[in-house]
Amino acid sequence: MKEELKSFASSKDIGIEGAYYISTKDKENHKKVFLKDVIDVNKNTWKQGKNIIISLVGCQNLASYEGLVEKKIETNVTPTVGNHQQHVVNIWLGYVGDNDSDNWTRASGEASTLNTGKILQDSTGNKRVSERTSIDSQYKYSMADKRAYCRAVLKHLRLFGVYSAVEAQAFNKDKDNLDF
């Protein structure tokens, strides 16, 4: 069973079509689930180098398929200049039910002006988002929440080596899409 519980990401030469995780929804009967059987891999996943990137919608579909729910959300919003307007969200995600009451995963997501960009004024006085990213800094809490959620889903399903598109603007295949 140990061999079967390894993440597909441990073999870097696997393509998106062969990508899978081991479902632990049923503690007695773990099964291999291919991403292509749960999500539209052509629309919700892509490769960047050797990494597989999954969209927010892809993570949401995986969570729905597995029956994962958010148990608890904590936020730490301390927007100061010293911490670059940082927002932090912690999410506990897992299965509901007597048999799975201990099957919860916690993940954190953060966002600040360092990783979401900030609004600047151009030479004509018009507001624009910094060249660093195209994400408007007013959505830091939302970005922190999305990052925490996607990290919790991927961590819970043991999809290590797979990254969500909300992790970094560099992973976004459509640089102008805020809801990747």
Cα–Cα distance measured from residue 86 to residue 112, given in angstroms and rounded to the nearest whole number: 4
Picking from 7, 42, 11, the residue whose alpha carbon sits closest to that of residue 22 is 7
Query: Does residue 1 belong to any structural domain of this protein?
Result: no
Tokens representing 123 are: 């030479």
Is pTM beyond 0.85? Reply is no
Give per-residue pLDDT as tens, 84-140: 677 888 999 988 766 555 678 999 998 877 666 655 666 676 655 554 455 445 677
Query: Does residue 161 belong to any structural domain of this protein?
Result: yes
Cα–Cα distance measured from residue 67 to residue 63, given in angstroms and rounded to the nearest whole number: 6
Tokens representing 176 are: 């102008």
> How many domains are contained in the chain?
1
Query: Does residue 180 belong to any structural domain of this protein?
Result: no
Cα–Cα distance measured from residue 46 to residue 17, given in angstroms and rounded to the nearest whole number: 10
Q: Which helix (H) or strand (E) holds 64?
A: helix 56-66
Strand partners, 45: 54
Query: What range does the domain containing 64 cover?
Result: 8-171
Give per-residue pLDDT as tens, 32-63: 999 999 999 999 998 887 888 999 999 999 99
